[in-house]
Amino acid sequence: MRHTLFIAIVVLPLFSGCEALFGTKQDDTTREIFREGRRDPNLVVDDVGYAALTPFWTGFKRPTDVYVGYDELVYVTDADGVHVLDRAGRRYVNGFLPLRGAVAVTMDRKMNLYVAARYDTVITSLNPAVTWDLAAVYKINGLHLGAPRVVDILVQPFMDGSRSTTSAQRVRLVKGSATSEERVEITGLAVLADNTLYVTRRGPSNPTGTSQAADNTVLAFEERLVNGVRDGKMVNTGQIRALSPTVPSLLSGVGLSGITTFVAPPQRDNMNADRGFIVTQGATGNIPFRVLWVDVVETVNGTEYRPRVQLLARDTSRAERFLYDQNRFSEPSGIAFSGDGRNFIFITDAGRDSLYLFQSNGHEGVNPPVGSPSTKTVRVSFGGTGNGVRQFRDPMGVAYFRQVVYVADTGNNRISRFKLNTDLE
């Protein structure tokens, strides 16, 4: 596969003594360079696409996810917890919360931070001598202020509204069992415009036709309503059972590894009210379509979850590759949707150590430059195994904000950043 790259060249004046003729160091271009990063001078101009912003950010312990919040700060999860940085990569004083095994992070429009990690607990009534290692979602306030407050903790299996009785919650709390609750993982988090939280979950127990939801599912949470007031605590309002937990299709959730909605920073008065989402399936085996767009439609008979079958119509006169090409991905691990109207979909693939960009119509790449004789999109996806500026090792998370793409490059212990060339749009 041929990958392309665009390098922006900034020409600076030779003399700085006369600002009237040559400008000032404090112009917008200079501010952007210092704020966003330095473009790597060793890269060779190939064609169009991304420019690396160096130096990449290091000092993490196998970073697993990255997210730019509605407060316009950057949140990074790694094996130790969650870190907060500004967009120049500077870490906030006391801007770290230890959370073992943190794997995913997002923020709602009220600035509540959600982090998927692990939770140690003793259930005294079950066995006071046993500590359980369970998946959990932490709801946090004030991390960027250096005074984080944990508002709520959603713990598997007690977070699942389909397990309403004590016996249903405890039946799989068995150490060493093949279906033990300790084997269940929370893999992805995303929010809607009304602050509904979506959580992707995967695990070993996936029966269908029972009152309890399968491990492989998407859970929906809302703030609890007490006497007409939202009190900040989260309750499970649904399990999306339309996704088959075991049989791959255009509407399945086999080994879910991530999720994104169509709502993302920056903050706006009117946000996209679409309740749909896109999920990634990272399980091993034959899964032809590993990235699935699910539409949520309200009907007279209730809520329906429908596959976006329009993406199967691949117009080869407009693009060479598509989101719904069979076997396009090996192990999709992270996904993000641009919240600035460009409607780009970014996907990291840990199996192929690559970063992909698609448009909302499913076409891979960005539109050709104005005046180009070509009608096809320009593919800007790239990757490969290694520690070069265009390489990754097991990338697990991706974020986008103001034309900058952030990748949690897990195996290289860094956050890689790339500037997207908007002259192509």
Query: 245-273, pLDDT tens digit by residue?
Result: 999 999 999 999 999 999 999 998 889 99
Whether 346 maps to a domain, the answer reads yes
Whether 18 maps to a domain, the answer reads no
Distance CA 304, CA 307 (A): 10
Measured torsion, CA atoms of residues 143, 147, 151, 156, in degrees rounded to the nearest 10: 60
What percent of the chain is modeled with pLDDT above 90? 79
Instruction: Render pLDDT for 347-384 as a digit per residue (tens, 0 to 9).
Output: 999 999 999 999 999 999 998 887 788 889 999 999 99
Separate counts of helices (H) and strands (E) for the chain: 3, 25
Whether 83 maps to a domain, the answer reads yes
Taking CA atoms, 218 is separated from 201, 242, 276, 278, 287, in Å, by 6, 10, 12, 11, 18
Residue 318, amino acid: R
pLDDT at 102 over 80: yes
According to the model, what pLDDT value does residue 38 have?
A: 52
Q: Which two tokens stand for residue 301?
A: 């008979």
pLDDT at 170 over 60: yes
What percent of the chain is modeled with pLDDT above 70? 88
Average pLDDT of the chain, as a whole number: 89
Contact at 8 Å (CB) between 51 and 421? yes
Q: What is the tally of structural domains in the chain? A: 1
pLDDT at 198 over 70: yes
Whether 100 maps to a domain, the answer reads yes
Distance CA 383, CA 105 (A): 24
pLDDT at 326 over 80: yes
Distance CA 265, CA 279 (A): 19
Residue span of the structural domain in which 251 resides = 53-424
Whether 335 maps to a domain, the answer reads yes
Q: Which two tokens stand for residue 341?
A: 């109207």
According to the model, what pLDDT value does residue 49 have?
A: 79
pLDDT category, 339, cuts 50, 70, 90? Answer: confident
According to the model, what pLDDT value does residue 280 have?
A: 98
CATH number, domain containing residue 238: 2.120.10.30
pLDDT (mean) for 130-135: 97
Whether 39 maps to a domain, the answer reads no
Question: How many degrees, rounded to 5, is the angle at CA 179 between CA 177 and CA 182?
Answer: 80
pLDDT (mean) for 78-86: 97
pLDDT (mean) for 221-242: 94
Q: Among the ranges 137-151, 361-375, 409-423, which has the highest mean pLDDT value?
A: 137-151
Whether 256 maps to a domain, the answer reads yes
What are the helix (H) ranges across 160-231?
166-170
> Which residue from 323, 200, 220 is spatially nearest to 275, judged by alpha carbons?
220
Q: What is the DSSP secondary structure assignment for residue 97, as one 8-state letter?
A: E
Whether 409 maps to a domain, the answer reads yes
According to the model, what pLDDT value does residue 373 have?
A: 86
Question: How many degrees, rounded to 5, is the angle at CA 248 between CA 235 and CA 346?
Answer: 70
Instruction: Render pLDDT for 32-59 as a digit per residue (tens, 0 to 9).
Output: 434 445 544 443 334 557 899 999 999 9
According to the model, what pLDDT value does residue 32 have?
A: 45
Residue 168: how many CB atoms within 10 A of its CB?
Answer: 14
Name residue, tokens 């473009």. Answer: 39
pLDDT at 152 over 70: yes
According to the model, what pLDDT value does residue 363 have?
A: 97
